[in-house]
A and B are shown apart, each in its own frame.
Chain A
Amino acid sequence: MSMAPMADSANGYLWQDGTLRSWLLTTDHKRIALLYMASITAFFILGGVGAALIRLQLLVPAGAILSDETYSRMFTLHGVVMVWLFLVPSIPVTLGNFLVPLMLGARDLAFPRLNLLSWYLFVMAGMLVVYGLFRGGLETGWTFYTPLSTDYTQGHVLPVVAGVFLSGFSSIATGVNFIISIHQLRAPGMTWYRLPLMLWALYATSVIFVLATPVLSITLVLLAFEHFFHVGVFDPALGGDPLLFQHLFWFYSHPAVYIMILPGMGVISEVVSTFCHKPVFGYRFVAWSSISIASIGFLVWGHHMFVAGTSLYAAVVFSMLSFLVSVPSAIKVFNWLGTMHGGAIRLDAPMLYAMGFIGLFTVGGLTGLFLASLASDVHLTQTYFVVAHFHYIMVGGMVSAYFAGLHYWWPKITGRMYPEMWGRTAAGLLFFGFNLTFFPQFLLGYEGMPRRYATYPAQFQVLNVLSSAGASILALAYILPLVYFAWSLLRGARASDNPWQATGLEWRTSSPPPTENFAHVPVVNHDAYDYAALDQANRAASQEPPHA
């Protein structure tokens, strides 16, 4: 545990070979994670600009800047980019890619070249989507509902759909890689119940990647086929069923909501345990709740379609199944609280983000119950209540968790510490700005303001102005980390191997890790969050005379 800046950081994966070629042709999972990080950050900014324009528009009831048509294209841009090019890949492809082999004690993922291919597929997907959006975009919303997307659209459906289709293959490649790696590449002694909970969460996410994404792919193929050849697939004029499109779409896209939250839950489990210096309460329940969220998540998609004209029988079945999924989610929340209870909590930035996550996720989850109930959904669906609900999960939840993870593993990834004070400030701003942005939207939705309209009645203005004000604070909370992370790359204090006194295998190698991850294959002989063993090892190390 030497704090010396150590000349051997030059041997870390970051600086070993600095040529552009070595980065673009790398099969090192850590470098691919950084390539992904750069790409999704770009998409996050693009999607964020879309959100900013939306909130600007809604400052005044008549709409401030955009025409109705442009407004539709703007929220479509925001949705498509944020969902498919940021939220779905976010934690798995960056932190997941970086951490899975390190946490397993492996040299790399099971299929390193497939991993690189997945990044190229993702970049191509992103470029296709951006091409479509800059040609003028489309007005279908991120859900591409037929027959608008097939028969009536004036926008550029094909390139965007093709991009989303490609990004699906990138997801499948990542999912295959994670599942096979976790099965096949665990270090000696790393049993399933010794895996960090992050890996359980990523495993569950990968199951969704592998088994739900292909259904999205085929759905988009059907859509593109109908749109391009002007034939009937979902066309009601021929007796086709537009609802069939929605069933196929949501078979993927509801589980995709869990793609967008499960990895975040994995991060929170790691962070909460570390900063309370306590094993996660009820490890096996948290582990299996990830698997059951992923499984039950496949059974509930019909709740997106309660008012779409589905049969009452189907709606009742889907409503009941939707309530089921709240059980494993609640298990997680209670177990995090159980972990914090009686712990010596350190309020560093990752922990602040994590606590924010728990609060926001709870609000998002509980409001989900309103939408899972048939009767209240009829009132609330297609209003800002829904917008607020899923932003509490995806932004309040996933983005908080992503930032928690970024701060937590930043020393490991870069070998540098971020400035703690600024980190705490950004975490506080995120929590405050987020609530100010989206809590008013619950009220707006409850009072009946519909989503996806460029204008609104004057009575809603106060809440909309509050929401837009919150969005500007939120923007600041996003820009701040960009700045100080960049600063810390050059000027940040050198990080030790294990700055947080955490237990995972990733903290047993140097910061940043060498290209081959570990000098020797690690052998695991204790449970995932065994702080007693860690403290004992630290005491033993401090009694030894220091190395020269």
Chain B
Amino acid sequence: MVRVMACWGALMVLFMGELAIATTGFGPGICAVAVLMGLVIVFGFMRITLAPPLAAIFALGSLFWLAILLSLGSLDSFTRTNFSVGDTLSSRTQNAVTARDRAP
């Protein structure tokens, strides 16, 4: 009972902290607080330490595969040369080429 209330209190404090950081616009800080709140839930409410050891294995496994998804999945987008719609390599290119063709 006391433990649950303490966790709830901690979550409330963290949430207020999150909103406070949000007023400064510091994105990584907001995300860090959200992760902390998640940890309070996993350890305080879901009691992963009391569950069979398999629970921790599955939880870590899912985080590992999540990391693969997010890192390799965003690798391409973060390193790609993007051309927005209507720019050089998309639709307008044809116009540009036809314009050039007409020029001489």
Contact of A211 among B65, B73, B75 (CB under 8 A): B65
Q: What B residues does A301 contact at CB under 8 A?
A: 72
Q: Enumerate B72-88 residues with CB–CB distance to A below 8 Å.
A: 72-73, 75-81, 84-85
| Listed residue (A301, A310, A314) with the most chain B CB atoms within 10 angstroms of its CB | A314
Q: Is B54 an interface residue (CB 8 A)?
A: yes
Q: What B residues does A152 contact at CB under 8 A?
A: none
Q: Are B85 and A239 in contact, with the CB atoms below 8 A? A: yes
Closest Cβ of chain B: how far from A244's Cβ, in Å? 7
Contact of A243 among B62, B76, B84 (CB under 8 A): B76
Q: What A residues does B79 contact at CB under 8 A?
A: 311-314
Q: Are A251 and B80 in contact, with the CB atoms below 8 A? A: no
Q: Is B38 an interface residue (CB 8 A)?
A: no
Q: Are A239 and B80 in contact, with the CB atoms below 8 A? A: no
Q: What B residues does A243 contact at CB under 8 A?
A: 76-77
- Complex A-B: 20 CB contacts under 8 Å: A211-B61, A215-B69, A243-B76, A243-B77, A244-B77, A247-B73, A247-B76, A251-B73, A302-B72, A309-B80, A310-B76, A311-B75, A311-B76, A311-B80, A313-B75, A314-B72, A314-B76, A314-B79, A314-B80, A317-B75
Q: Are A251 and B69 in contact, with the CB atoms below 8 A? A: yes
Closest Cβ of chain B: how far from A526's Cβ, in Å? 27
Q: Is A237 an interface residue (CB 8 A)?
A: yes
Q: What A residues does B72 contact at CB under 8 A?
A: 299, 301-302, 314, 317-318
Interface size on B, residues (CB 8 A): 17
Chain B contact surface mostly: helix
Q: In the docked arrangement, what's the CA distance between A241 and B84, Å?
A: 10
Q: Are A211 and B62 in contact, with the CB atoms below 8 A? A: yes
Q: What A residues does B78 contact at CB under 8 A?
A: 311
Interface residues in chain A, defined as those with a beta carbon under 8 Å from any beta carbon in chain B:
183, 207, 211, 215, 236-237, 239, 241, 243-244, 247-248, 251, 298-299, 301-302, 305, 309-314, 317-318
Q: What A residues does B61 contact at CB under 8 A?
A: 207, 211
Closest to A235 in B: B85
Contacts A239-B84, A310-B76, A310-B80 supplied; 18 other A-B pairs, CB < 8 Å: A183-B54, A211-B61, A211-B65, A247-B73, A248-B73, A298-B68, A299-B72, A301-B72, A302-B72, A302-B76, A311-B77, A311-B81, A312-B79, A313-B75, A314-B75, A314-B79, A317-B72, A318-B72
Q: What B residues does A207 contact at CB under 8 A?
A: 61
Q: In the docked arrangement, what's the CA distance between A395 and B61, Å?
A: 31
Q: Are A299 and B68 in contact, with the CB atoms below 8 A? A: yes
Q: In the docked arrangement, what's the CA distance between A383 and B77, Å?
A: 26
Q: In the docked arrangement, what's the CA distance between A237 and B85, Å?
A: 6
Q: In the docked arrangement, what's the CA distance between A415 and B37, Å?
A: 57
Q: What B residues does A239 contact at CB under 8 A?
A: 84-85
Q: What B residues does A215 contact at CB under 8 A?
A: 69
Q: In the docked arrangement, what's the CA distance between A270 and B74, Å?
A: 40
Closest Cβ of chain B: how far from A457's Cβ, in Å? 28
Closest to A317 in B: B75
Q: In the docked arrangement, what's the CA distance between A305 and B85, Å?
A: 21
Q: In the docked arrangement, what's the CA distance between A310 and B77, Å?
A: 8
Q: In the docked arrangement, what's the CA distance between A301 and B68, Å?
A: 11
Q: In the docked arrangement, what's the CA distance between A311 and B79, Å?
A: 6
Q: In the docked arrangement, what's the CA distance between A241 and B76, Å?
A: 11
Q: In the docked arrangement, what's the CA distance between A267 and B54, Å?
A: 27
Given contacts A183-B54, A211-B61, are A241 and B77 in contact (CB under 8 A)? yes
9 pairs of A and B residues whose beta carbons are closest in the complex: A314-B76, A311-B80, A311-B79, A313-B79, A310-B76, A211-B65, A314-B75, A247-B73, A311-B76
Closest to A251 in B: B69
Q: In the docked arrangement, what's the CA distance between A439 and B81, Å?
A: 39
Q: What B residues does A244 contact at CB under 8 A?
A: 77
Closest Cβ of chain A: how far from B75's Cβ, in Å? 5
